[in-house]
């Protein structure tokens, strides 16, 4: 994976002036990032693929063919070399590899995502949830859901159409029709060392192509996952697209592996901020990300003549916008060509500035602030359990623990009961989240049922041992105290 921050696109109306001229900036309130619920408007992976296949077949399709047309190599964008570090691929969030249909008369060309990244929305924040489930210690008791997006929208499709038309100009044939590649989806993340057995794609949004991932993990794994989100590389995996067969004329049947990235501060996961003509005297742009945004270029792609596209624009002097900052420019300063009929898209090229403090704040919002909290495993140790049961004629033995620290956010006090039998030397309990630096993290009491049916139990709650605060030791002394109640 590239170590440099990915250059991603968004549209903005900026003044066509020299790089040294800076926009006027207005400080807004600090951006509040809130975890978004995983939306429900998804369908199954199989249904999504079958729907796309049926739509293609209805238009006379016979299936995608090889080799792929790499439009990034086949189409020359005039003046692109004037934008340092910018490639044709940076002008579109879809992959520039398209596949012609076996029925050339259909005019169908199939497109696919470039990659999948964690979705960000200015209003809802990151589409990631971390839920805690009750369960025995060591069990998979954390459920992590994430919505990954190709990041592309209608304007990206327009760019792809323009590049395809430029390639096909003068070659004859029907007018091209772009359709999504009918395929099944399968996710793969190398999490074998993290106590995560599998990652499941449990839904596909038929409109956006976004997928919902689910993984279950233990608490230490959750800590690793959430801390990795803030790294430059993030948590990297893949999404495998396996083409669905439409007819025996189809020559593309092998799977395509796309990179999937769960990380913060990736512009590709946010909405393309497309430029719109200002309705008043000024055009405005607001940095809606919880990270600083550095703008490098204002650019617009224009169709000069059939089969010829050109990139024009200006340097922006690496203008830095803090979260919530607004840049404004007078409508009179705009080059009128940027709103002309020949413009395919207008965009600014930039990158988010990764800041450790900002990453920490976002992770805390996503996880309720428990990402950096220590976790202690509570255990119940029984001294010579078989002898203990035999000596005191014990039929059943139970330890009840109550604590607000079972909940990572301390929302309520919970009581959990753990059964002990004569074969138990150590009974694992649940994890305690240490969101306080002082005070007792839990209380416990013991209940004993003897063979003759008599029930004995502590009349009050016991406090943890100051020597072994996360171990409840059950021995003859404690049993005798309970039996005396």
pLDDT computed for residue 30 by the predictor = 28
The structure's pTM equals 0.66
pLDDT tens digits along 86-122: 999 999 999 999 999 999 999 999 999 999 999 999 9
pLDDT tens digits along 140-164: 566 778 888 999 988 999 999 999 9
Mean pLDDT of 309-321: 88
Of residues 283 and 41, more confidently modeled: 283
Spatial contact of 114 and 159, defined as CB atoms under 8 Å apart: no
Q: Residue 259 corresponds to which tokens in the numbers above?
A: 């990179």
Least confident window among 184-198, 242-256, 319-333: 184-198
Spatial separation of the C-alpha atoms in residues 62 and 341, rounded to whole Å: 35
Q: Which domains does the chain have, with CATH numbers?
A: 8-367 (no CATH), 375-483 (2.60.40)
- Which residues are paired to 345 by β-bridges? 301
Residue 450 clears pLDDT 60, i.e. is over it: yes
pLDDT tens digits along 328-376: 777 777 777 887 888 999 888 888 988 878 887 887 777 665 444 567 8
Q: Residue 20 corresponds to which tokens in the numbers above?
A: 């040294």
Place of tokens 């012609």: 100
- Phi, psi dihedral angles at 116 (to 5 degrees): -120, 135
Spatial separation of the C-alpha atoms in residues 257 and 276, rounded to whole Å: 35
Spatial separation of the C-alpha atoms in residues 203 and 38, rounded to whole Å: 10
Spatial contact of 100 and 229, defined as CB atoms under 8 Å apart: no
Residue 367: which residues within 8 A CB-CB, separation 6 or more? 130, 222, 226, 408
Collapsing DSSP states into helix, strand and coil, what is residue 167? Answer: helix
Q: Residue 322 corresponds to which tokens in the numbers above?
A: 């803090």
Spatial separation of the C-alpha atoms in residues 422 and 381, rounded to whole Å: 12
Spatial separation of the C-alpha atoms in residues 405 and 436, rounded to whole Å: 9
Query: What number of CA atoms fall less than 13 Å from residue 34's CA on the CB side?
Result: 5
Mean pLDDT of 288-302: 89
Helices 476-483 and 385-392: crossing angle, nearest 10°?
A: 30
């Amino acid at each position: 994976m590239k170590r440099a921050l990915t250059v991603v696109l968004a549209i903005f109306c900026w003044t066509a002036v020299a790089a040294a001229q800076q926009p006027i900036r207005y400080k807004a309130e600090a951006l509040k990032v809130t975890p978004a619920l995983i939306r429900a408007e998804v369908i199954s992976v199989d249904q999504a693929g079958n729907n796309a296949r049926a739509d293609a077949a209805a238009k006379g399709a016979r299936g995608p063919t090889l080799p792929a047309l790499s439009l990034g190599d086949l189409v020359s964008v005039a003046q692109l070399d004037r934008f340092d570090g910018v490639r044709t691929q940076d002008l579109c969030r879809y992959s520039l590899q398209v596949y012609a249909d076996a029925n050339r008369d259909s005019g169908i060309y199939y497109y696919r995502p470039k990659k999948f990244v964690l979705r960000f929305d200015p209003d809802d924040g990151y589409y990631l949830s971390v839920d805690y489930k009750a369960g025995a210690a060591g069990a998979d008791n954390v459920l992590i859901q994430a919505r990954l997006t190709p990041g592309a929208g209608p304007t990206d499709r327009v760019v792809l159409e323009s590049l395809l038309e430029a390639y096909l100009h003068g070659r004859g044939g029907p007018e091209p029709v772009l359709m999504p590649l009918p395929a099944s989806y399968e996710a793969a993340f190398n999490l074998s060392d993290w106590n995560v057995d599998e990652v499941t794609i449990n839904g596909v949004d038929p409109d956006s192509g976004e997928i919902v991932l689910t993984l279950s993990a233990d608490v230490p794994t959750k800590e690793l996952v959430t801390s990795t989100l803030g790294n430059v590389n993030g948590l990297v995996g893949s999404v495998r697209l396996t083409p669905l067969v439409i007819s025996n004329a189809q020559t593309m049947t092998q799977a395509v592996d796309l990179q999937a990235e769960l990380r913060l501060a990736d512009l590709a996961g946010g909405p393309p901020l497309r430029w719109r003509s200002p309705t008043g005297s000024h055009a405005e742009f607001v940095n809606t990300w919880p990270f600083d945004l550095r703008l490098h270029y204002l650019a617009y792609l224009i169709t000069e003549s059939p089969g010829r596209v050109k990139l024009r624009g200006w340097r922006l002097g690496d203008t830095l916008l803090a979260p919530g900052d607004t840049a404004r420019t007078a409508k009179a300063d705009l080059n009128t060509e940027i709103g002309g009929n020949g413009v395919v898209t207008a965009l600014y090229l930039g990158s988010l500035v990764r800041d450790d403090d900002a990453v920490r704040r976002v992770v805390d919002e996503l996880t309720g602030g428990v990402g950096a909290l220590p976790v202690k495993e509570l255990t119940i140790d029984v001294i010579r359990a078989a002898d203990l049961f035999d000596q005191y004629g014990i039929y059943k033995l139970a330890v009840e623990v109550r604590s607000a620290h079972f909940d990572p956010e301390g929302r309520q006090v919970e009581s959990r009961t753990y059964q002990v039998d004569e074969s138990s030397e150590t009974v694992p309990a649940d994890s305690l989240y240490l969101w306080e630096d002082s005070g007792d993290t839990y209380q416990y009491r013991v209940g004993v049922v003897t063979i003759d049916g008599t029930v004995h139990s502590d009349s009050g709650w016991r406090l943890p041992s100051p020597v072994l605060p996360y171990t409840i030791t059950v021995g003859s002394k404690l049993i005798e105290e309970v039996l005396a109640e």
